[in-house]
Every structure is written in C-alpha cells, then in structure tokens.
Amino acid sequence: MIKIKSMLKLCRPHQWLKSVIVFAAFLLCPWDLTVFCKALIVFFAFSFCSSAIYCINDLLDVAADRQHPRKCMRPIASGRVTPFEAALLAIFLFVSSLALGFWAGRWVDLFLLIYVFNNILYMKYFKHTPVVDVFCISFGFLLRMLAGALGIGLPVSGLILVCTFFLTLFLGFSKRWAEANGQKNNINTRATLKEYKLPLLSVFISVTSAATLMTYGLWTISPDTVRRHHTDLLIYTLPLATFGLFRYIFILYMEKGGEDTARDILKDKPLLFIILLYAGSVAGIMFLSSYFPDAG
C-alpha cells in the first residue's frame, strides 16, 4: 500500500489540473456528447503523458532533489520508489497515453509526441536557459489546447491561442519568481534561478498579465467571436477573469505561493470559486447561444 501511494505521488495527479485546458475548444463550441468524450480521452492522454514526464524528470533530478529541503521527500529522492520502478511506470504511462491519443483522434498522438519532445529538450537543455525555459512550458500548454481542438476536429480562435500563450507565460514567470524568492531565502536549488532577478521577473509578470487580460477582452468583443457564438455576452466574463488573475498575483506576492499552480488553485478557496464561477458563466453563455441564439 505504501509503495502504491508513493508511485501515485510520483505521478503528481494534482498536476492533471493543467490538462483541463484541452476542454477550452469544446467549451467554446456547440456541445456534442461524442466530442466531449473525445476531449475527455485527450485529457487523460495528456495527464498520463505528463505523469510519465514527471517520472523521468525526477529520475534525472534525483541528485539535486536530495539536496533540497522539500524535494528530498519526493518518492525517488527519498528511496520509496527505485529508479527501475520509476522507469517502468514512465513507460507504462507513456504507452497508455499514446493508446488513448490514437483512440481520440489520428492527430492527437502527433501533439503528444511533440509535447514529449518539447519536454525532453526542456529537461536536457532549455531548463537552464532563462526566459527560454518559460517559453518551453508555455508551448506545452499550447500543445494541450491544440490537441483538444485541432486533434479532434474543433476550430480554435487565434485570439484565444494568443491569450493562452500570455497566460501560460504569466504562470511560468510567476513560478520562477516564487522559486527565485525561495532561493533568496536559501530554500531552492534550481541553477537557472541565478540568472533571474526578482525585479525583472516582476516586470515579466506585469507585462504578461496585462497582455492576457487585453487579448481576452479583445476576443470577447471581436466580430468573429460574436458571429461564431451568436452572442455578445462574453464580455461580462472579463471581470471574473480579471479577479482570478489578480487573486493569483496576490497569492504570489503576499502568501508566498506560485511554485505549484495546481496546488495553489486547489488550496485557495476564493481562487477556486472564481475559476468555477468563470467556467460556469462561459458554459452558460455558450449553452444559451447554442440553443437560444436570440438570447445573446
């Protein structure tokens, strides 16, 4: 039982929350049960794939993790899971993700393979290159979103792609700020953080958060959005998106969060509530515009 718990912890299932982005295209299109099932399969495909990558990452970083006051408790670093067991688990998860991807759509596996290749480049090279490291993380999110759209035959808005790009850059630079702030207090070991300065990261955070809200606002009122979704009500979700972003910035600067986005969302009740309210509002507007076109 202890071994199973350790292997589950190694998979980081709470990080599967990041794969929710695959539902973005489905949420913004006329709803169909078959398409939802495909998006759900893509969600699990990327979740399994990301867990496989976490296993590989912990195998590569085991020496550094043992020197870290918090990461030394990770399953491989603490010895609760052997490197051989972790490698077998990674292979099983990766093969399972490819099988699910093939089931969902013929192009999904292509996005999965590019996602894996991007992460290998990140772990071996770009992880230690400032700015490029965050762009690699952002690219991974975009691949998830594209797999949940183009991979199963759904359209995706250019403005939404740009908005997602800036949002993921914001989250990536927020994570680096939190890690750099932790290193300042001697609780972090990531080598690339020596190249980052807190004031510079704060500028990156400000620019990307502003760009996220601006592009999202433009998407809600663009003629293409109004025509495609038969509604001009999406602009009213902008205050919710703004509050959610500002709440996350508050958590980052005032509550020393930011290192683990998924855990921050799950732990902070106001942030979790506003995200659920936002998703529910968008879903409600999409439902009304799909079945009652004149309502919007």
Is-contact 234 268, C-beta < 8 A? Answer: no
Cα separation, 157 vs 6, in Å, equals 40
Three-class HEC string of 168-226: HHHHHHHHHHHHHHHHHCCCCCCHHHHHCCHHHHHHHHHHHHHHHHHHHHHHHHCHHHH
Give the percent of the chain with pLDDT over 90: 56
Residue 133 DSSP class: H
pLDDT tens for 26-55 read: 887 777 788 889 999 999 999 999 999 999
pLDDT tens for 127-179 read: 888 999 999 999 999 999 999 998 888 888 899 999 999 999 999 999 999 98
What are the helix (H) ranges across the chain?
A: 2-11, 24-27, 33-60, 62-65, 83-104, 108-124, 132-147, 158-184, 198-221, 223-229, 238-254, 261-267, 269-291
Dihedral of alpha carbons 109, 57, 194, 268, sign: positive
Is residue 211's pLDDT more than 90? yes
Listed residue (62, 42, 58) closest to 7, CA to CA: 58
Cα separation, 113 vs 244, in Å, equals 32
Q: What pLDDT does residue 63 have? A: 78
Listed residue (150, 296, 284) closest to 227, CA to CA: 296
CA dihedral 266, 271, 274, 279 (to 10 degrees): -40
Tokens of 64: 């550094």
Which of 57-61, 207-211, 275-279 comes out lowest in average pLDDT? 57-61
